[in-house]
Amino acid sequence: MPLRKESARDGVVRLIDIDRFDLSACGGTHVARTGAIGAIAVASWERVRGGTRVEFLCGIRALRGYAALRDTVAASARLLSVLPADLPHSIERMQADARESRRLAKDLQGRMIEHEAAALAAGAEVRGGVRLVVEALEGFDANGLKAMASAIAARDGHAAVLFSAAAPAAIVVATGAGVPVDAAAILKRLTETFGGKGGGRADLAQGGGLIGIPTEMAGFARTLF
């Protein structure tokens, strides 16, 4: 017979046939009446291999599931100071506010980076005809260092070697137009000396894992120009 799944038992097997839906070996548990099962709560369903998988809870498990859901909803409503029915709208509003905050923070960070880059470029030292900025910066991750170095190198004749102040240090090397220096080669020399790894192009290279005193790394970087 076309069982949905072959039974592992031998001998006489009781089959449960749900017309035009399912034919399976009985898995128990047997009850005299459906009321003995108690509440049946469908928790979820999903499409699986052309069929539908249904998750449900019965009896005391259904009550426990409801209690857990009730407590979670109540706690969430208290945290947001809204009624339970207003939770979806409140969460949507918070998500929209978070997106706007991230957009604003990104915009402000971009403006701050442009301002800081201009100040650093104004104080650049001249080495081998290159206006060079070498700094260890507090509070910048790899992406922030990349944005800052790129903003400095956007000026003709400028180059930047920026480290994160925290060890192990992230590093970005960027060179602008008219700078006859390979940023990737500079990065390679630094990682050979202070460890770490990285790579990039002739005008922009970045890496991480450098171990050393920031002033020593900065001093060594200057000798490479």
127 shares a domain with 73? no
* Same domain, yes or no: 208 and 142: yes
Q: In whole angstroms, how far apart are CA 200 and each of 133, 183, 186? A: 19, 8, 10
127 and 177 part of one domain: yes
The model's pLDDT over 58-104, given as tens digits with 9 standing for 90+, comes to: 999 999 999 999 999 999 999 999 999 999 999 999 999 999 999 99
Whole-model pTM?
0.60
- Does residue 1 lie in a domain region? no
The region, left, alpha or beta by phi > 0 then psi within -120 to 50, assigned to residue 157 is: left
Range of the domain at 155: 116-223
pLDDT for the residue numbered 162: 94
Q: Are residues 126 and 196 in the same domain?
A: yes
Tokens of 75: 């706690």
When pLDDT is cut at 50, 70 and 90, the band that residue 141 belongs to is confident
**Is position 13 within any domain?**
no
Residue 138 lies in a domain: yes
Identify the CATH number of the domain in which residue 211 sits: 3.10.310.40
Residues 121 and 173 grouped into a single domain: yes
Whether 67 and 130 map to the same domain: the answer is no
Q: Which of 191, 156, 165 is nearest to 173 (CA)?
A: 191
Per-residue pLDDT at 1 exceeds 90: no
C-beta of residue 131 within 8 angstroms of C-beta of residue 124: yes
What is the count of structural domains for the chain?
2
In this prediction, residues 160-188 reach a mean pLDDT of 92
